[in-house]
Structure 1
């Protein structure tokens, strides 16, 4: 009798609460292979189409999953989090009596029913788990109260390997569901049979559909009666979410950073890094001229590796001071430059008097020019170089002299290259002559010593020989010397024919060839 009363009360409530699952999105794991039938005949959407006049496989009013699987899942998306009162499931019967001979009973046994805010059943609330139904007690129309709120209603069954199930369970997990009806209020924040009474607590999002007791606060509130706002840096449902650390303060309901972001971040949740070339609060400032176009510091805009040529300062936004250029303005323009480019150092404004070149680093000397950028020729045509400022001649071209190089100079003796070469040759010949003189003198001295040595080797005359016979020594007197002939008689000697040594003969031949030289002639005369 109590079962009948409960059933009748649920029927009455069904007319009071709305079926909030009707024609909502659905999903089924492992849909049945239809072969010759249209897939629509077994699609999961048949479980919420409101039709249940024919509870067979191919009626087009039921959802069917494939056989020989270990799990079976079917869920209904209510499209938003809603308050639920009870759930009713119509199982496939094949339009046959639901008695001991109906084979569909064994497939329904062991099922579970979840309500979740995600498609993961384990994230939700378990409304029912069949641990008690038997082959004889399982109903073909199952209803259970589930006074919770959620977005997904999930029907799950399993036949896992290694797990022992009752003998009357079907071997595999299947979905053979013809209708899933979820009864509750279509609008959050209301309760009562007609869902017309607002929840008593103003910040309550969901309340018990019978008593009105708050079951969940609106985002941004917490407490038993949702009377407290979220603490600083927290937001969302039950204040469970934390604002981003890059956010100066977020909305307690949505998490949007209404007070802006800390420097270096942007986006409504301050979760986006500044784009290239930007920095600062809400990435609203533009980077300066960093070296090699590198990104500046996201918070303060400083250029970590220095500035591009022509700029200076922490953020590289200041141009170089006067007379400075290059990376971070560390290079000094040439002092001969009137004003240089702050990037390249090129003297764009020209050079001071007497200098030229793109960097004003070349003077005018030896160019024959003077003045600004060395552009004016020296006034005197024969001037080799002139004063870089006044143009006054400071050096003449070869062959000219005078204050303005107007006079042709006398022929120089060794001013030209040709004369220099000739002079060098003459000097070399003179030095060679001196060397030869020294060699000749040395040989003459050696030869004289050799001749004197031979004269000492002549034997004395034997007794009885004429003592007037001249010896080799006598004949070796110098020409014009006096020699003794008879006692008391001095006779001038005549040059004797002396056999000279080979070196002396060579020297004599050499000096006969040089007889025109006075100095060499005197040496030759001595050899005679």
Structure 2
């Protein structure tokens, strides 16, 4: 196989320098999606493998087709001194020659640029090489360029802009097809030489030229050609560019770390006498920072989070609670043409919104050719909602008239409901006015409502005429839906820190605090009526009256029964008693035995003596 290698601007070259890019984090824009992801992944260019420069070997980066821009970078994880960079371009294991005209691999390599920067923005870095002077006959498959610079990110970039005239040999579209990018330099600061083993000559030098040892940057707190001078008054730190705090009597702070050795002036705190220490801000440093990303501190004066918010929070101060974060979700007609996790409904509440392309695995994607599209998130209980933010799928390309996803967003609706059915909920927003040129990719919807489910809905029904610009079918392609409100009932304000004014209020207005729903057992405009006490008292009174009424009825029935006994019943009762006495006691004398005749007159019987048992029995039964 023919292979052309070129070394640009190298006076000396040694493999003793370490490959700082090996197995570091890498990123590419527009990864090719027509193959398995591992075959085209950005990390293939820093895996240390370069023996098989074909896409099928999984050792190369492959970008998508038909793009006007190609971008790839590697994060070295820290700022390092770089000596040189080597690029191994895709050859597909065939001879590297200009035989395939404008669409060969050499034609795709032409026009690239290579930058080293401390950020992912190449405009803030140094241009190491720009290949505008190469042709199909001169550009190599393996290119090494000298780049004596310090930086954290190495950025590869190519473009084929619309309206720009490029040389005939250039490919029609932009590609990055890197099989390996090696960044050689010294990992440890303060050293130089082939093995990075010689200390820089100047004792306060942080980075020196890797070949000559000439100091390129002083350690914090020092300046001068040989780093022999301390920072001037009022300055300290890296490059002597940091201001001292308000030290007492305006004395100079420590030239390296900025500590005020004599203390602070009134109104300032901390070792450096700055406005506020990490985690605090505002007057007197009494306010707490919000949930800033990676627990970084906020701006000492206004409290804004300079690094963004932690997942689950939002707003300028990162104190607004995203009630939808990582909650249960559902979508109708999930797209199944690719890996399930790339299009899952849960992607809409995972807190990620940096990659708005389906291949990033951060977006929801529904099937094609559907008349309705429904997605919802279950907040798990009824919540007081303030506003909703939607990030729609953009494909990581410019949003607007020419973006193919814009027509799919038009006409959507958002509901808040206590069930999964939108019909019984509150309509927060219904798009009837947006056009391809006015609908935003990120939209904020104020929705002061109570509910458990937030429902996104769109439709393209047959027989219905929709405005120009609308897609033919319905889609839900949400990359993130955030629902902001108070996670705990009974509180309001932007950070949900103020209790509702009415003590028995369950939910109050998130801005004004006006009660919207009372706690169980309470009612009234200000939840001042204890409905539980009133109803309980009523129940007690009714119960007591029922018991008394039951007792009265029982007494009346009893008395009535006693009064209604007939004379015959009374006579029969006495006879039974006398008979029982005879059988129980045998023959004996009977005295004062009263017999009731049929005329209800009482007759006193004299004492009967010397009667037989038979006579007694006859007398008792009235026989002669």
> TM-score under structure 1 normalisation?
0.48
Higher strand share goes to which structure?
A: 2
**Structure with larger RCO (C-alpha < 8 A, sep 6+):** 2
TM-score when scaled to structure 2? Answer: 0.41
Larger Rg: 1
